[in-house]
Amino acid sequence: MKAKIKQFIQDESGVTAIEYGILAAAMAAAIGVIFGSDGVFVTALKERFSSIADQITNTATPDSGE
């Protein structure tokens, strides 16, 4: 019986799953903070995408003078 209890205490196979769960929760929280609706990063990202979209639109539209 002592051997079984000692083996159970030393078994660390479930620890990896718990660590992955904690890591996933931390990543989800970080993504929530970064992409939150009132974050600075979101504003900068929206401005950058708007700039790229404007460049694509201006490049794709032929000039009427040429």
pLDDT score for 61 = 63
Section 8-34 average pLDDT: 83
pLDDT above 80 (res 29): yes
The residue with greater pLDDT, 15 or 30, is 30
Q: What is the DSSP string of the chain?
A: -HHHHHHHHH--TTHHHHHHHHHHHHHHHHHHHHT-TT-HHHHHHHHHHHHHHHHHHHHHSPPTT-
The residue with greater pLDDT, 63 or 38, is 38
Residue 1 binned pLDDT confidence (cut-offs 50, 70, 90): confident
pTM over 0.85: no
